[in-house]
Chains A and B, each alone.
Chain A
Amino acid sequence: MTHDITIPFYQYILEGGNGLTPKEDVLYATRQDALARFRSLGLPDLKTEAWRYTNIQRTLKEQPFILQQQPLPVTASQVAPAAIADLPCYRAVLVNGHLQPELSDLPEIKDITISKLSEASQQAGFKAHFDKHPHLADQPFAALNTALFADGLYIELKKNAILDKPLHIVHVYTLSQHAFLQPRHLFIVHPHASGAIIESSVGLHDGVVAFVNSVSEVILEENAELWHYNLQNTVQDSRHVTHTAILQQAYSRYHHHNFALPQANLIRNNLSVALKGSYTETDLHGLTLVTEQQHVDNHTFVDHLVPHCNSNELYKGVLLDNANSVFTGRIHVHQDAQKTNAFQQNNNLLLSEKANINSQPQLEIYADDVKCSHGFTVGQFSEESLFYLRSRGIGQEAAKTLLVNAFAFDITDQVHIPALQHYLTEEILRYVTRN
């Protein structure tokens, strides 16, 4: 659907976008196509069903953004705060989307490739999968990213390759003026390969705004397994629109854990999984802990295309202050996808008079021999539990903290890396007690 775009930014993107790609770029045609797609899709507004609770145009109208910002010098000590204590891991540091090998500690394992996406365009994996995910086709921000992205990360785990330690991807943003950044990543896990990646961010832009529009495509071939942790914290003055599009082949297992924590002003996550092979497992877990004026919008989509797949989704939200949380979880079971098990649950704690929650758990089912359910709750602490704790001598505030932790436990408990689990529990505690 095309809307009349009156905001100057839209024109600016279209014009700027045209000029940004040199004709000799190998992706010139792809980028031109994407720009045309963006033009026909238009910028979503509140009348766009998928964006009815997130006013993205308002955010884009705020100030003029530049479309590309070359990385400014960054030192190791500036990246250090992102470290997760006691976590043995590899590290890939990206500044404004550009991989910085000198700040990174990359694995040197045969059959594992970690490189700049811009250097991977001749790889077979890139050719086979780049910009091919079916769910990206109708997403205006994904089209924009394809048209404008400068660089990102390319990870390929070849057949049978095992990443022996988690890879911590640190996204550093450093800006001299308001910028609209488009990092682009492609992760390919070949048959029987497995690994874990943790993504987190550091913001070094002072007084200017980073609008990050990132796209990650994740391919899991047969019997591949990936643990994917996404920590969205520590970046002030930032707005994030993310697309994480996963494609799973038979017997593959994908575990996604999203932690949307305080600081970023606006987060819109589009997480979508296309199940192309049978007997897969998909776990989507999310904790949204939002404070102040934060707005977090989690949009998830699980597309059951074939029989015998299992998906399990649990998103929990804790809302404080004037925070806004949106959850849209869509499960689509196609006619051929018999014997599907698909479950989805969204539970929320609303702890402030001024916080808002909007939720749309959606089931779309065309196969009859399936087990599907979704559930939603919003409420506050059980008075009974609170009273019980207090009657045992625990102060009201301490009791509340305890209960928030208990509420979040379902999500943190699913984190399979002990040091990361510990780190996240502490982070949650820190934000809750501060309030």
Chain B
Amino acid sequence: MRNSNEIIDDIANKEYEFGFTTDIEMDIAPAGLNEEIIRFISAKKEEPEWLLEWRLKGYQAFKKMQLPSWQHFPMPAIDFQAVSYYAAPKKKKQLASLDEVDPELLATFEKLGIPLNEQKALSGVAVDAVFDSVSVATTFKGKLKEMGVIFCSFGEAVREHPDLVKKYLGSVVPHSDNIFAALNAAVFSDGSFVYIPKGVRCPMELSTYFRINAQNTGQFERTLIIADDNSYVSYLEGCTAPMRDENQLHAAVVELVALDHAEIKYSTVQNWYPGDKDGKGGIYNFVTKRGICKGNSSKISWTQVETGSAITWKYPSVILQGDDAQGEFYSVAVVRNKQIADTGTKIYHLGRNTRSRIISKGISAGQGDNTYRGLVQVGPRAHNARNFTQCDSLLIGNRCGAHTFPYIESRNKSATVEHEATTSKIGEDQIFYLNQRGIDTEKAVALIVNGYAKEVLNQLPMEFAVEAQKLLSITLEGSVG
């Protein structure tokens, strides 16, 4: 049997590459990417030599890489040399009270039902004494520490747990994986690190803490989560609240490693600035997310609710290396105005009896363009592998697009792969029926959309599911009628 490095290299070479170029007007200097800048970043962060070398390898790979041409949307252009790769994390302007916050933002918070203190934290209002985020974080940290769970910033992990970082960094998403992963490897700012020791079931969603501290995550984040034998963790990224960010390009990397009988559940709610009605501005969200079920009977599950960004281009993937391993991908992607989403997953069945399940629900409104792109690959050793994929598209209005591009590759006769896709619109007769029962059109659409997306929303942690549901309704406000 081949070792996992070979497998990953193999996959990396076949990986979809991300690419784009456009003129971004950056107001930060000095712009440009070169070895000096990378050495400078590494020095600023007081990183060890091995990490600097790794960054430089990423940079070398990046230099050799080309922009791809397979994507299903007009390619914006970006001048990498025009981007500033080092800027001290921009502190948001501290506001004295919520009165100073954009009322539109507050209205959205209100609709989402976000607690007042969190509203303040999210919009950059100084948090009052009643709600001491530091102490909350400390409480959590204490509890986690007791159980041996490591949950800290990437920078801290490099200092405190160099062996773990060294062992797993780039082990799932190599520095040369694709052009954006290479860029991230070269210049990544910071991010999160999680290690769950053997036999530990992480007692809380790693989210509450994270949500409050989610500001200033930067455009080149890097997350690494390792679940050791028989452990479990549920990790939540992002926020239903609209995130405004001046950086147009976001190229994060997330790596997950699940060892024997371990389970990682990774949920994302993404609601970054999508640009204006004409598609001006907005974030390019080009993330590389991949997990490996290294151990037998391990499980990785991705759940995502994507409503923001001008362009969302990502394929959270699972490598099912261990026997009896399971991979799951649940996604709701909503586009409106001129938003573009090209998203899906890649599942590699390598071990025996590996199972995967893909549920993708695309919703297109306005002039939005929504693409599901997914790969299911069954290797020759993956006896009795099973995959089920369901891709549904819902169209609202007749100027949007919904596309489904699955790639299915099977090399094992005992494998069963099934893919189903449907496209439908919200029927006038459905809306009329609900109208006739006293429900107005706006609410009717919300009901139908949430019903449509239910299978995915159910995967989210309870509290988040409620917010995500509201988020969907708000996102689609005014799309019908």
Contacts and interface: CB of A to CB of B under 8 A. Distances in A.
B421 A375 contact: yes
Contacts of B399: 335
Interface string A373-401: 11111111000000000000000000000
A366 B400 CA distance: 6
A353 B415 CA distance: 10
A359 interface: yes
Given A1-B69, A352-B413, A368-B397, A375 B407 contact: no
A208 interface: no
Given A364-B403, A365-B395, A380 B414 contact: yes
Contact of A368 (B72, B396, B411, B416): B396
Nearest to A336: B398
B43 to A, nearest CB: 39
A374 B391 CA distance: 10
Contacts of B421: 361, 363, 373-375
B403 A362 contact: yes
A365 B402 contact: yes
B404 interface: yes
B413 A355 contact: yes
Contact of B415 (A365, A367, A370, A379): A379
A66 interface: no
B75 to A, nearest CB: 13
Contacts of A380: 413-414
A367 B400 CA distance: 7
B410 interface: yes
Contact of A365 (B403, B409, B411): B403
Most buried by B among A368, A373, A380: A368
B461 interface: no
Given A373-B420, A375-B419, A379-B417, A338 B398 contact: yes
B338 to A, nearest CB: 14
A324 to B, nearest CB: 10
Contacts of A373: 420-423
Given A335-B399, A365-B393, A368-B400, A378 B406 contact: no
Contacts of B425: 368-370
A403 interface: no
Interface string B415-437: 11111111111000000000000
A177 interface: no
A378 B422 contact: no
A121 interface: no
A368 B421 CA distance: 15
Contacts of A362: 403-406
A351 interface: yes
A360 B413 contact: no
B408 interface: yes
B401 interface: yes
A259 B239 CA distance: 53
Chain A residues touching B, range: 35 or more
B70 A49 contact: yes
Contacts, number: 107
Contacts of A356: 409-411
B380 interface: yes
Nearest to A340: B423
Contacts of B247: none
Given A374-B421, A375-B419, A376-B418, A357 B408 contact: yes
Q: What's the interface size class on B, roughly?
A: 35 or more
Contacts of B413: 350-353, 355, 380
A373 B392 CA distance: 9
Given A350-B413, A369-B425, A378-B417, A360 B405 contact: yes
Contacts of A114: none
Given A357-B410, A359-B408, A364 B401 contact: yes
A357 B399 CA distance: 35
A20 to B, nearest CB: 32
B433 to A, nearest CB: 17
Q: Which of B405, B416, B423 has the most CB of A within 10 A?
A: B423
A376 B409 CA distance: 11
Contacts of A56: none
B205 to A, nearest CB: 35
A378 B398 contact: no
A221 to B, nearest CB: 29
Nearest to A53: B409
B404 A374 contact: yes
Contacts of B393: 363, 365
Contacts of A377: 416-419
B208 interface: no
A82 interface: no
A358 B408 CA distance: 5
Contacts of A374: 404, 419-421
Nearest to A362: B405
Contacts of A372: 422-423
A365 B72 CA distance: 12
Contacts of A352: 413
A361 B419 contact: yes
B215 interface: no
B412 interface: yes
Contact of B398 (A358, A363, A367, A376): A367
A371 B421 CA distance: 11
A363 B420 contact: no
A371 B400 CA distance: 15
Nearest to B408: A359
A376 B404 contact: no
A61 B416 CA distance: 36
Interface in A324-366: 335, 338, 348, 350-353, 355-366
A363 B404 contact: yes
A309 to B, nearest CB: 15
A363 B419 contact: no
A55 to B, nearest CB: 15
Nearest to A370: B423
Contacts of B69: 1, 49
A378 B406 CA distance: 14
A368 B404 contact: no
A375 B420 contact: yes
A358 B395 CA distance: 29
Given A357-B408, A358-B407, A375-B419, 20 more contacts: A335-B398, A348-B410, A351-B413, A355-B413, A359-B406, A361-B421, A362-B405, A362-B406, A363-B393, A363-B421, A365-B402, A370-B425, A371-B424, A374-B420, A375-B421, A376-B408, A376-B417, A378-B415, A379-B416, A380-B414
21 contacts: A49-B70, A335-B399, A348-B410, A353-B412, A355-B413, A356-B409, A358-B408, A358-B410, A361-B406, A363-B404, A363-B421, A364-B72, A364-B403, A366-B400, A367-B398, A368-B398, A370-B425, A374-B404, A376-B419, A378-B416, A380-B414
Closest 3 CB pairs of A and B: A368-B395, A376-B419, A368-B425
